[in-house]
C-alpha cells in the first residue's frame, strides 16, 4: 500500500471512498460509517454526553502522501477548514521526495497528582511519603490491575512542597506526583482512579487533608518527535528558487521564535493538523492543545513549537517535539465507529506510532504554512478553497 495517490482529489467522493476502502481493506460497515448519518448514532451520543440532542457533522477527509519512518500512511482528518487537508497532502509529497519524516517517541508515561494541605510538618511528611513509596505504588496498581497486566501501571512517585511559606495568603501544600505508564490508553480515568485509591493512605501517612486527586495534562514524559530534511531545490516555486524559499522560511521561523504575537499564530497552524487527526481518531484534542502550548513555554517564554535550520549541505531541516498523550484503545476511540475506521485507515498498531504520525502531520502543516506565507501569501490558495466551500453551501442540494 502506498499513500501516494496522484489525482486523488479529482475523483468523485464515492470513488475516493471505494478506492480507500479497497486499499485499506475496510469492511462495508467500516466504510459505511463515514457516510453522513451513518457513524455515531443518536443512542451512542446520548450515552457519551448529558442532554444530547443530536450529532454535529464535520467533514472527514484523508491527507495523502505521508511517509513516516519508511511506511506509507493515509492520515484521516476531521476538520471544517478548507485548506488543511490540501496543504498537509501537498507538503507531505515534497517531504516524501526527500525521504519522508523520521519520527520517534519517548514512551507512554503520564502523571497523577494528590494535593495535601494542613500538615503540621511539611518536610517530615514528605520524607514519610517517600519511605512508603513502594506501598503507595502497590496500592495504586491494585486499583487498576488490568493496566499492570498489560505491562503498564504506576512506576514512580515523588513528593514536593509548594508555597511552604504561605505566600499571598494561600495554603502551603504538599503534592504527591505519581508517574504511570498507560500503554495504549490515554489513561485519564486510570490515573484518576489510582490517585483516589492512594488518597486515604496519603492522609494517614501525612496527618494532613487531601483535596485534589487528579491527572495532569502536562505530559512532558510522553513526547513524540518528528524531523524532515529537504533539499533546497524541492522548495522552489515558479517565481522563486529553492534557496531563496529556504532562507525565507528560516526568517519566518525566527519571527515566531522572537515574537509572541507571531508565535501563537505559528503554533496554531501546527495544531490545525494535529487536532484534525485527534478528532478523527477519537482522541482528546483539548488535552493535546493544553500540553502543547504549555510545552512551548517551558523555558519561561512562549516560543515556536518547531525548529528550522539550514543543514550541513544546504538542506532545510525541520524538527517538532510535543507531548502526545494519544490513545488507540478506550474512550471515544472504542465508542465512535468513525474513530475505529480512522484508526484502521491509519494502519497503526499502538499509541506511540499514532503519536509519531501526528507530530509528523504537525511538522508538515507548519512547513506548508511557512512556505505559503513567504511565497505567494496565505490567501491565494486558502481563499480559493473558501470560495469553493461557499459555492457548495449556497448551491441547491441535488435530490
Asked if the structure places residue 242 within a domain, the reply is yes
Instruction: Output the nine-digit C-alpha cell for 303.
Output: 516560543
pLDDT of residue 337: 87
| 88 and 35 co-located in one domain | yes
| 266 and 357 co-located in one domain | yes
CATH (domain of 385): 3.90.770.10
From the list 32, 97, 268, 344, the catalytic residue is: 268
| 45 and 137 co-located in one domain | no
Instruction: Output the nine-digit C-alpha cell for 337.
Output: 465507529
284 is catalytic: yes
pLDDT by position in tens, the chain (length 399): 789 999 999 999 999 999 999 999 999 999 988 988 788 888 888 888 899 888 888 999 999 999 999 999 999 999 998 899 999 999 999 999 999 999 999 988 999 999 999 998 999 999 999 999 999 999 999 999 999 888 999 999 999 999 988 888 899 999 999 999 999 988 899 999 999 999 999 999 999 999 999 999 999 999 999 999 999 999 999 999 999 999 999 999 999 999 999 999 999 999 999 999 999 999 999 999 999 999 999 999 999 999 999 999 999 999 999 999 999 988 777 778 899 999 999 999 899 999 999 999 999 999 999 999 999 886 665 555 555 555 655 655 443
| 238 and 89 co-located in one domain | yes
From the list 30, 184, 201, 284, the catalytic residue is: 284
Residue ranges in 116-259 assigned as alpha helix (H):
122-131, 133-143, 145-149, 188-206, 242-258
Model pTM score: 0.91
Any residues with CB less than 8 A from the CB of 199 and at least 6 apart, and which? Answer: 114, 210, 213
pLDDT of residue 399: 39
Asked if the structure places residue 335 within a domain, the reply is yes
At which of 216, 241, 256 does a domain end?
216
| 366 and 347 co-located in one domain | yes
275 is catalytic: no
| 241 and 354 co-located in one domain | yes
At which of 183, 216, 249 does a domain end?
216
Q: Is 89:65 a contact under the CB 8 Å cutoff?
A: yes
Quick check: helix, strand or coil at residue 43? helix
pLDDT of residue 74: 96
From the list 81, 192, 257, 307, the catalytic residue is: 81
Number of domains in the chain: 2
Q: Is 206:176 a contact under the CB 8 Å cutoff?
A: no
Q: Is 212:113 a contact under the CB 8 Å cutoff?
A: yes
Asked if the structure places residue 3 within a domain, the reply is no
Any residues with CB less than 8 A from the CB of 371 and at least 6 apart, and which? Answer: 91, 235, 245, 249
| 236 and 376 co-located in one domain | yes
CB burial of residue 84 (10 Å; 0-12, 13-18, 19+): buried
From the list 93, 132, 340, 382, the catalytic residue is: 382
- Which residues form the domain of 36? 8-105+223-394
Between vectors from CA 72 to CA 247 and to CA 98, what angle results, nearest 5°? Answer: 25
CATH (domain of 170): 3.30.70.420
Across 192-204, b (16+ Cβ under 10 Å) vs e yields: eebbbbbbebbee
Amino acid at each position: 500500500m502506498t499513500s501516494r495517490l496522484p489525482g486523488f482529489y479529482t475523483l468523485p467522493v464515492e470513488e475516493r471512498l471505494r478506492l480507500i476502502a479497497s486499499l485499506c481493506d475496510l469492511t462495508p460497515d467500516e466504510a459505511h460509517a463515514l457516510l453522513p448519518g451513518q457513524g455515531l448514532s443518536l443512542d451512542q451520543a446520548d450515552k457519551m454526553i448529558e442532554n444530547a440532542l443530536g450529532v454535529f457533522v464535520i467533514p472527514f477527509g484523508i491527507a495523502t502522501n505521508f511517509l513516516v519512518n519508511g511506511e506509507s500512511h493515509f492520515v484521516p482528518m476531521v476538520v471544517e477548514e478548507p485548506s488543511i487537508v490540501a496543504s498537509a497532502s501537498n507538503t507531505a509529497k515534497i517531504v516524501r521526495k526527500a525521504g519522508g519524516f523520521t519520527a520517534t517517541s519517548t514512551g507512554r508515561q503520564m502523571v497523577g497528582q494528590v494535593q495535601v494541605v494542613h500538615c503540621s510538618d511539611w518536610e517530615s511528611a514528605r520524607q514519610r511519603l517517600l519511605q512508603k513509596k513502594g506501598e503507595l505504588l502497590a496500592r495504586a496498581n491494585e486499583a487498576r490491575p488490568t493496566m499492570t497486566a498489560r505491562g503498564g501501571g504506576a512506576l514512580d512517585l515523588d513528593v514536593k512542597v509548594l508555597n511552604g511559606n504561605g505566600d499571598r495568603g494561600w495554603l502551603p501544600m504538599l503534592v504527591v506526583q505519581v508517574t504511570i505508564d498507560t500503554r495504549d490508553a490515554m489513561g485519564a480515568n486510570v490515573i484518576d482512579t489510582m490517585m483516589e485509591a492512594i488518597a486515604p493512605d496519603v492522609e494517614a501517612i501525612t496527618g494532613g487533608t487531601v483535596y485534589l486527586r487528579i491527572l495532569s495534562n502536562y505530559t512532558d514524559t510522553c513526547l513524540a518527535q518528528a524531523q524532515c530534511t529537504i533539499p533546497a531545490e524541492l522548495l522552489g516555486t515558479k517565481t522563486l528558487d529553492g534557496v531563496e524559499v529556504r532562507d525565507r522560511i528560516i526568517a519566518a521561523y525566527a519571527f515566531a521564535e522572537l515574537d509572541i504575537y507571531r508565535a501563537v499564530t505559528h503554533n496554531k497552524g501546527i495544531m490545525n493538523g494535529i487536532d484534525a487527526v485527534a478528532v478523527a481518531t477519537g482522541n482528546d484534542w483539548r488535552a493535546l492543545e493544553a500540553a502543547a502550548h504549555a510545552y512551548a513555554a517551558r523555558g519561561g517564554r512562549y516560543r515556536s513549537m518547531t525548529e528550522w535550520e539550514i543543514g550541513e549541505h544546504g538542506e532545510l531541516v525541520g524538527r517538532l517535539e510535543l507531548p502526545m498523550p494519544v490513545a488507540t484503545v478506550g474512550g471515544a476511540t472504542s465508542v465512535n465507529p468513525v474513530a475505529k475506521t480512522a484508526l484502521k485507515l491509519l494502519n497503526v498498531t499502538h499509541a506511540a506510532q499514532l503519536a509519531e504520525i501526528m507530530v509528523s502531520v504537525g511538522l508538515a502543516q507548519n512547513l506548508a504554512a511557512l512556505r505559503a506565507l513567504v511565497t505567494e501569501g496565505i490567501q491565494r490558495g486558502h481563499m480559493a478553497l473558501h470560495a469553493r466551500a461557499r459555492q457548495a453551501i449556497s448551491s441547491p442540494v441535488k435530490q
